[in-house]
């Protein structure tokens, strides 16, 4: 594989006229006057019948690096594509990224001249993603009706469409896999190989990603012919050094790390969001990453409830939530609402106007590929379990040459070694001080107090008071804490992120729990009662704020009190957080019970068969004719082949 290196600084790398001419008007209207280094390096290679593997920092313009050559290749064809022929396929790991890529294609296609004014046109682009109201059969019907030249989608739905004989891929010119390493990480390897079998070998293939993995290298060897590798990095000039060194982040990104004790961490998150919006940076949009979906769900619900009390610690902040367990419709609407959210202004009771910061609470579902050019700040509340995801998260800001700030929040103690770990990974970070809130509400950078931060403690008490008023928040909090413990214990950098090195009391304060859940993972933790004291929660009196849910709970309690005793096989309604160990024990016990019942059933069937053989050996007179015995034999054959399995599984 040949190799071509380029630099991202400066972002401008020459005019578009060096390699293209058909899309100049659209590029100028979109504000792209100059190419970026990844575009100037990749597009000429793509247009000269080369397969490319492009590894570039986030926000460097990789999408246009394959959209432009795809359109140019299709427009330069000697023979136009027929209605049911596909010219280009773009595979994306998530529906959000596929929708975004398809919209970029559509912005170019909308600027095409009319049919009578142009000798060549790209017929259109089709989006094929799962989790929507569109079914695979409707995708096929759309293709047959409109005959698009470009198809953009996720692997599963793409494979559903391409396997139909009515979709002709023999004339395909280009295959692109965007965020190719993520496609393999999500387990799409076999689907990708199936897709490759549907496509002609004589094609141009492009793999685009911000990181290169061993699995991706294997895919390169299988699916590409003599590829050229394009690597775009940033050169960091160090003072006092004769040379520089390469880093894996955009040159316009400022990266920081913040350290605080667990009991102060969540208060610090809210303070630094307000500090960044009110300071010289004037941040207006930010993304905050958490480890699990349950954390996002709990904290968003808690902050939404707390905001209704007009708590000054949330002043100027508007929250959105996005995670993988939301419905596709909810994910799409949330992403769209956050992307379109403008620089709104609120007016407080004194009449003074101040800008609002839009804050997206999310998991790694929004960590890769998504283009949100207006994001000013990225906060990694929980460091990612996979270190490769770190720069993908940070890359949601400082895109297309704009300046941005990224910050990772660490617990004081052993986690501070993560800074040196990232330094080795060519990701240098600067320290970000402790944000203090003064009596008048002003924020400033200072040292973390040795004693308990009174304002952080007041926020914790306000959050607990909110939890006490709603059983749903209480249950969400326990579930969020358990999910975080499980995720933290599986961190890939386990020699830095050790569960036993954290304070159980501090983490309970951070999650605003009423009591710490009982789970095997916490058996080595000791509770510091000077910092956190378990409350005795009356499970019967703790009510849901939702009247319908509370009515159902009370009815269930009434039925339970009226019944003499629960059946041995009835499922107990848990009143505390579950653990993985307890679930596995219950599953094993259920499996043993099923196996024992199946063994007994098989023995009874064998005994009946033996009795039938003995009866056949006894010579007795049978008055039934052959015609009368035939239906019985037929019924017996059906029972022997299928009904015995049906009866067994229904019994279970």
Please check whether residues 185 and 279 belong to one and the same domain.
Answer: no
Helix (H, G, I), strand (E, B) or coil at 552: helix
E strands, 68-137, are 88-91, 125-128
Q: Is pLDDT of 618 > 50?
A: no
Please check whether residues 32 and 151 belong to one and the same domain.
Answer: yes
Please check whether residues 260 and 333 belong to one and the same domain.
Answer: yes
Q: Is pLDDT of 32 > 90?
A: no
* pLDDT, tens digit, 9 for 90 and up, residues 498-517: 998 999 999 999 999 999 99
Contacts of 309 (CB under 8 A, 6+ apart): 462, 466
Residue at 498 is within a domain: yes
Residue range 231-236: mean pLDDT, rounded: 66
Distance CA 547, CA 554 (A): 10
Higher local confidence (pLDDT), 390 or 235: 390
What confidence category does residue 238 fall into, taking pLDDT thresholds of 50, 70 and 90?
A: very low
Which tokens go with 139? 């995708």
Higher local confidence (pLDDT), 116 or 474: 474
Higher local confidence (pLDDT), 381 or 191: 381
Instruction: Supply the CATH number for residue 149's domain.
Output: 3.40.50.300
* pLDDT, tens digit, 9 for 90 and up, residues 433-456: 999 998 888 999 999 999 999 999
Distance CA 55, CA 380 (A): 23
Alpha helices in 314-368 (DSSP H): 328-340
Q: Is pLDDT of 561 > 70?
A: yes
Q: Is pLDDT of 82 > 80?
A: yes
Torsion of CA 430, 436, 441, 443, to 10 degrees: -20
Residue at 83 is within a domain: yes
Amino acid 12: pLDDT: 55
- Length of the chain (residues): 652
Please check whether residues 379 and 509 belong to one and the same domain.
Answer: yes
Please check whether residues 517 and 463 belong to one and the same domain.
Answer: yes
E strands, 112-201, are 125-128, 150-153, 174-178
Amino acid 89: pLDDT: 96
> Distance of CA 392 to CAs 18, 443, 564, Å?
30, 30, 57
- pTM, to two decimals: 0.71
Tokens 């500090």 — which residue? 275
Amino acid 351: pLDDT: 35
Label the pairing between strands 174-178 and 204-209: parallel
Residue range 275-300: mean pLDDT, rounded: 91
- Residue 436 and residue 255 in contact, taking contact as beta carbons nearer than 8 Å: no
What confidence category does residue 521 fall into, taking pLDDT thresholds of 50, 70 and 90?
A: confident
Residue at 502 is within a domain: yes
Lowest mean pLDDT among 58-67, 302-311, 363-372, 435-444: 363-372
Amino acid 102: pLDDT: 94
| Best-predicted range by mean pLDDT (21-30, 146-155, 202-211, 643-652) | 146-155
Amino acid 625: pLDDT: 45
Residue range 199-225: mean pLDDT, rounded: 77
- Residue 34 and residue 61 in contact, taking contact as beta carbons nearer than 8 Å: no
Which tokens go with 406? 């990224």
Tokens 């001249």 — which residue? 113
Amino acid 119: pLDDT: 56
Rounded mean pLDDT of the chain? 81
Distance CA 266, CA 263 (A): 8
Distance CA 430, CA 422 (A): 11
Give the end-to-end CA distance of the chain in Å, rounded to a whole number.
Answer: 58
Higher local confidence (pLDDT), 610 or 360: 360
Share of the chain above pLDDT 70, in %: 77
Residue at 497 is within a domain: yes
Residue range 92-108: mean pLDDT, rounded: 90
Residue at 466 is within a domain: yes
Please check whether residues 230 and 279 belong to one and the same domain.
Answer: no
Amino acid 400: pLDDT: 67
Higher local confidence (pLDDT), 138 or 236: 138
Q: Is pLDDT of 415 > 70?
A: yes
- Residue 336: give the domain boundaries: 253-345+353-522
Which tokens go with 422? 């990232």
Boundary of a domain, candidates 522, 539, 571: 522
Residue at 336 is within a domain: yes
* pLDDT, tens digit, 9 for 90 and up, residues 157-205: 999 999 998 999 999 999 999 988 888 777 777 888 899 899 998 899 9
Share of the chain above pLDDT 90, in %: 41
Task: Output phi, psi for 540, to 5 deg.
Answer: -80, -30
Q: Is pLDDT of 104 > 60?
A: yes
Boundary of a domain, candidates 501, 522, 543: 522
Please check whether residues 293 and 210 belong to one and the same domain.
Answer: no
Amino acid 512: pLDDT: 96
Distance CA 360, CA 323 (A): 10
Instruction: Classify the phi-psi angles of 547: left when phi > 0, otherwise alpha if psi is within -120 to 50, otherwise beta.
Output: alpha
Please check whether residues 14 and 77 belong to one and the same domain.
Answer: yes
Residue range 346-364: mean pLDDT, rounded: 64
CA 132 to the chain's CA centroid = 17
Amino acid 349: pLDDT: 35
Q: Is pLDDT of 248 > 70?
A: no
Q: Give 369-397 as a DSSP string.
A: S---TT--EEEESS--SSTTHHHHHHTTS
Lowest mean pLDDT among 278-287, 351-360, 405-414, 600-609: 351-360
Q: Is pLDDT of 645 > 50?
A: no
Helix (H, G, I), strand (E, B) or coil at 90: strand
Please check whether residues 56 and 191 belong to one and the same domain.
Answer: yes
Task: Output phi, psi for 152, to 5 deg.
Answer: -120, 130
Instruction: Classify the phi-psi angles of 526: left when phi > 0, otherwise alpha if psi is within -120 to 50, otherwise beta.
Output: beta
Please check whether residues 366 and 472 belong to one and the same domain.
Answer: yes
Amino acid 621: pLDDT: 38
* pLDDT, tens digit, 9 for 90 and up, residues 48-63: 888 999 888 777 788 8
Boundary of a domain, candidates 176, 209, 237: 237
Amino acid 191: pLDDT: 87
Helices (H) and strands (E) in the chain, counts: 21, 20
Please check whether residues 89 and 36 belong to one and the same domain.
Answer: yes
Residue at 485 is within a domain: yes
Q: How many domains does the chain have?
A: 2
What confidence category does residue 624 fall into, taking pLDDT thresholds of 50, 70 and 90?
A: very low
Distance CA 639, CA 622 (A): 23
Please check whether residues 213 and 145 belong to one and the same domain.
Answer: yes
> Distance of CA 382 to CAs 288, 289, 293, 494, 532, Å?
9, 7, 12, 14, 22
Residue at 245 is within a domain: no
- Residue 297 and residue 321 in contact, taking contact as beta carbons nearer than 8 Å: yes
Q: What is the CA radius of gyration of the chain?
A: 31
């Amino acid at each position: 594989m040949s190799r071509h290196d380029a630099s991202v600084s400066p972002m401008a790398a020459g005019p578009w006229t060096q390699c293209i001419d058909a899309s100049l008007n659209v590029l100028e209207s979109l504000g792209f006057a100059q190419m970026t280094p990844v575009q100037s390096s990749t597009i000429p290679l793509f247009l000269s019948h080369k397969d490319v593997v492009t590894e570039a920092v986030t926000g460097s313009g990789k999408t246009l690096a394959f959209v432009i050559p795809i359109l140019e290749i299709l427009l330069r064809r000697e023979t136009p594509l027929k209605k049911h022929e596909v010219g280009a396929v773009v595979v994306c790991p998530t529906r959000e990224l596929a929708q975004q890529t398809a919209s970029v294609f559509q912005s170019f296609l909308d600027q095409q001249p009319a049919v009578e004014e142009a000798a060549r046109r790209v017929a259109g682009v089709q989006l094929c993603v799962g989790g929507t109201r569109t079914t695979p059969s409707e995708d096929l019907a759309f293709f047959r009706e409109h005959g698009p030249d470009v198809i953009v989608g996720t692997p599963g739905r793409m494979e559903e469409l391409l396997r139909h004989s009515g979709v002709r891929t023999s004339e395909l010119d280009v295959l692109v896999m965007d965020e190719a390493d993520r496609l393999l990480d999500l387990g799409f390897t076999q689907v990708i190989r199936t897709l490759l079998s549907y496509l002609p070998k004589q094609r141009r293939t492009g793999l685009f990603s911000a990181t290169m993995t061993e699995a991706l290298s294997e895919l390169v060897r299988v699916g590409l012919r003599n590829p050229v590798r394009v690597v775009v990095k940033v050169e960091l000039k160090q003072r006092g050094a004769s040379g520089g060194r390469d880093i894996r982040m955009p040159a316009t990104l400022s990266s920081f790390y913040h350290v605080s004790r667990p009991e102060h961490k969540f208060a610090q998150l809210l303070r630094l969001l307000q500090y960044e919006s009110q300071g010289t940076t004037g941040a207006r949009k930010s993304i905050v990453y958490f480890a699990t979906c349950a954390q996002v769900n709990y904290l968003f619900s808690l902050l939404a409830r707390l905001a209704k009390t007009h708590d000054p610690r949330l002043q100027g902040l508007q929250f959105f939530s996005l995670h993988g367990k939301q419905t596709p419709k909810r994910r799409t609407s949330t992403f769209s609402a956050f992307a379109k959210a403008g620089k709104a202004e609120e007016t407080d009771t004194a009449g003074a106007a101040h800008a609002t910061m839009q804050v997206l609470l999310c998991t790694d579902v929004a960590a890769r590929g998504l283009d949100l050019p207006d994001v000013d700040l990225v906060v990694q509340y929980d460091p990612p379990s996979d270190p490769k995801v770190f720069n993908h998260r940070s890359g949601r800001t400082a895109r297309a040459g704009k300046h941005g700030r990224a910050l990772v929040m660490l617990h004081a103690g052993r986690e501070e070694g993560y800074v040196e770990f990232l330094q080795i990974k060519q990701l240098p970070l600067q320290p970000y001080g402790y944000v203090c809130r003064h009596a008048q509400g002003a924020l400033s950078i200072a040292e973390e107090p040795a004693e308990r931060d009174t304002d952080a403690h007041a926020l914790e008490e306000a959050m607990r008071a909110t939890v006490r008023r709603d059983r749903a928040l209480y249950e969400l909090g326990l579930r969020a804490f358990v999910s975080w413990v499980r995720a933290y214990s599986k961190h890939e950098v386990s020699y830095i992120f050790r569960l036993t090195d954290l304070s159980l009391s501090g983490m309970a304060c951070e999650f605003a729990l009423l009591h710490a859940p009982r789970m095997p993972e916490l058996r080595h933790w000791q509770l510091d009662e000077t910092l956190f004291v378990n409350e005795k929660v009356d499970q019967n009196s703790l009510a849901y704020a939702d009247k319908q849910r509370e009515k159902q709970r009370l009815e269930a309690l009434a039925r339970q009190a009226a019944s003499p005793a629960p059946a041995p096989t009835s499922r107990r309604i848990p009143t505390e957080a579950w653990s993985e160990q307890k679930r596995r024990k219950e599953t094993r016990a259920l499996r043993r019970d099923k196996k024992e019942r199946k063994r007994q059933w098989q023995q009874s069937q064998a005994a009946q068969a033996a009795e039938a053989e003995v009866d056949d050996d006894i010579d007795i007179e049978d008055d039934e004719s052959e015609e009368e015995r035939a239906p019985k034999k037929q019924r017996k054959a059906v029972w022997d082949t299928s009904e015995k399995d049906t009866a067994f599984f229904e019994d279970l």
